[in-house]
Chains A and B, each alone.
Chain A
Amino acid sequence: MIKLQDVYKEYTIGDSLLEILQNINLEIKKGEFISIIGPSGSGKSTLMYMMGLLDIPTKGKVLMNDVDTSKLSDEKLSRLRNEKIGFVFQQFNLINKFTVLENILLPTLYNPHTLDYDPQIKAITLLKRFGLDHRTHSYPNKISGGEQQRAAIARALILEPEIIFADEPTGNLDTKTGETILSLLEDLNKKEKITIVIVTHEAHIAEKTKRSISIQDGKIIK
């Protein structure tokens, strides 16, 4: 599904060269449930954005379904993010001036195709499934963290993606709420065969996934 070949990410700040990621080679297969673990500042988020086509490497290649994405225009990359990729963030990243329903439907705004389902009905179904029906017309800053994260997952699912990247999805939640979010993601992997990548610095979360990649100082160590 996603393959990284000799990927580097560097920033120059003043005279010094910061090597955030070095010589990354990895492959994520379709249907995998995988975690990327490493201490804070090790480059996990940077790696995830690279795989999620939000960022481009300084050197090396990111292939999605065997297509070299470095050659693609902003238009094409955006289309891939829109149709094939879903993001879940630690900060939930919902837009507070829009209702929960409007947030969930946001990706459909940028989708030029006519879908073979009604996204409005799909959104309502997801809200029911995640126990958010009573929050449909609420604003994100008026609901709990767990509810916001479930809304964010619903947004990631609205265009039926192939892969979901979750960056510290439980980082802002208490343990119990975190557990439900994790099992929700696990469920999506099992029942809907969606590839799930979880980024975390907590070992007990990484243990729940079938495969785990360890990263330290921008390098894969295991």
Chain B
Amino acid sequence: MIKEAIIVGASSGMGYEVARQLAEAGTKVAVVARRLDRLEQLAAAFPGKILCYSHDVTHFEEIPGLFQQITHDLGGLDLFLYASGVMPEVGWHEYSFTKDKPMVDVNISGAVAWINEAAERMDNTRHGRLVAIGSVAGERGRSQQPVYNASKAFLHTYMEAIRNRIARHGVAVVTIKPGPTETEMTAHLKMKKMPVEVAARKIIALSGKTGEHFLSPVHAVAFFIIRNFPSFIFRKLKV
């Protein structure tokens, strides 16, 4: 039973839906994101079950204090999920640091700042589930999204290292690698997407299982192949 959870990036998409489903199942959830109105809307649907915190993950210096505040308010911590992420549209020939920097700040630095807090705690308490949302995009550096792909590859490697530190104590350290999912992030993309409710349900089910997980067997097979594609061929593909 997950009694208390923290979800960073819970105002929309997968973070929101995981928060909703957990609250429905009786978990007390602390939801964190910039758009407080969205968080409060969710909280209104589950009186007493959801605590809202307005926070921008790029305000790194706030994070240790806020983490303490939230665990105090929750009265415990069984699951920590980092779901914040950004993926601005980047053109095939665009090299824009203005667009790239937020991906480094949110997908990497914010993730490290938050996950370090949760990991240090769980390293000591030897209890809990630590989950981060990576992406299939982190499997290869594709020409379309250099920094987004790299940010997710960073997250996967960072989470692997955290896993190697603390999973031995019985902490579940989990990297989720979703494929295209129906959320605001991908609203502009025309492709087959997994409904967000389905993705969230799978994330919750996998949250106790240490390791890296795709959300569908098709992805697992497809990305096994893509991962092992020789670079000199991969380079020629327009992906």
Asked if chains A and B come from one complex, the reply is no
